[in-house]
Structure 1
Amino acid sequence: MIDRMTHIIDELQALTGGDITLTRRLLEEVLRNCALDCENLLAIAPDDHPGMLDIAHRINGAARIVQARAVYEACQVLEASDPHDDLRPGRDALHLALVQLQTDLQRTLAKLDE
């Protein structure tokens, strides 16, 4: 887990040129968006294939910024799904990955305060 937090900080500092204030703001923004993505994901009906594809695509882009591998892998599963597939397992896997990412982001913010 420490490695993931360090990795998140390293990725964001690379994006911000090492500016810790900007890194914190970016981290807070990613955390806010992650929480909203969780809510929006669960609000989409499991049989709404276009809706699931849209949100998976949006989440995938943000997940790549912080190298959240479990999140973007879950997004890729949904994006590759057939319109007739049961999307609940993919949605649930993505939701779980987002919840874990939120935990990692919160811990990363706490680490910045040390």
Structure 2
Amino acid sequence: MSSSTRMVKAYDTASALRSPRDQDADVFRHFSALLRSASDDLSRTRALAGTVTLWRTVMAANLDPLNPLPAPLRAQIVSVANAVIRMAEQDQPNLTTIATIGDNFADGLSGRT
């Protein structure tokens, strides 16, 4: 078995032991970390592109009428997603602010306040 195959198997095993909310929180933390560590135009562009994709996915999931979350909560999440996307698409986006919003969502998903 190749090392990459073992790594994928280990990740799958570890992921199965964690809740979907914790896994989702890790995705937000990942992009927040990318935004904070962006040190050049390329890394900044990649971090912003990934962040926009994440928030567009969050928005789409919360616009789905089959989403089990209460409608008022989904509306609030969509509002935040729209705001983050607008911030990320500005000429000079504030990466720290966008990262902080992602961290706040991660904390909420993890049950941290």
Q: Give TM-score scaled by structure 2 length.
A: 0.52
- Aligned counterparts of 2:38 and 2:82: Cα–Cα separation in 1: 18
Count of residues in correspondence between the two structures = 77
Q: Structure 2: state its 5+ residue gaps.
A: 1-15, 60-76
Q: Evaluate the alpha carbon distance shift between residue 104 and residue 98 of structure 1 in structure 2; reply closer, same or farther with a 3 A threshold.
A: same
The aligned residue for residue 32 of structure 2 is 38
- Aligned counterparts of 1:42 and 1:36: Cα–Cα separation in 2: 10
The aligned residue for residue 50 of structure 2 is 58
- Aligned counterparts of 1:76 and 1:52: Cα–Cα separation in 2: 16
The aligned residue for residue 105 of structure 2 is 101
Amino-acid identity (%):
8
Matches within 5 A, 1:62-77: 62-67=54-59, 68=77, 69-71=79-81, 73-77=83-87
Q: Structure 1: state its 5+ residue gaps.
A: 1-20, 109-114
Q: Evaluate the alpha carbon distance shift between residue 54 and residue 75 of structure 1 in structure 2; reply closer, same or farther with a 3 A threshold.
A: farther
Which structure would you say has the larger Rg?
Answer: 2
Amino acid corresponding to residue 49 of structure 1 in structure 2: D
Amino acid corresponding to residue 70 of structure 1 in structure 2: V
- Superposition RMSD on alpha carbons, in Å? 2.8
Q: C-alpha displacement at 1:72, in angstroms?
A: 5.0
Runs of 4+ with deviation above 6 angstroms: none
Q: Evaluate the alpha carbon distance shift between residue 78 and residue 58 of structure 1 in structure 2; reply closer, same or farther with a 3 A threshold.
A: same
Q: Evaluate the alpha carbon distance shift between residue 41 and residue 50 of structure 1 in structure 2; reply closer, same or farther with a 3 A threshold.
A: same
Q: Evaluate the alpha carbon distance shift between residue 73 and residue 93 of structure 1 in structure 2; reply closer, same or farther with a 3 A threshold.
A: same
Amino acid corresponding to residue 98 of structure 1 in structure 2: G
- Aligned counterparts of 2:46 and 2:82: Cα–Cα separation in 1: 13
The DSSP-based 3-state class of the residue aligned with 1:66 is: helix
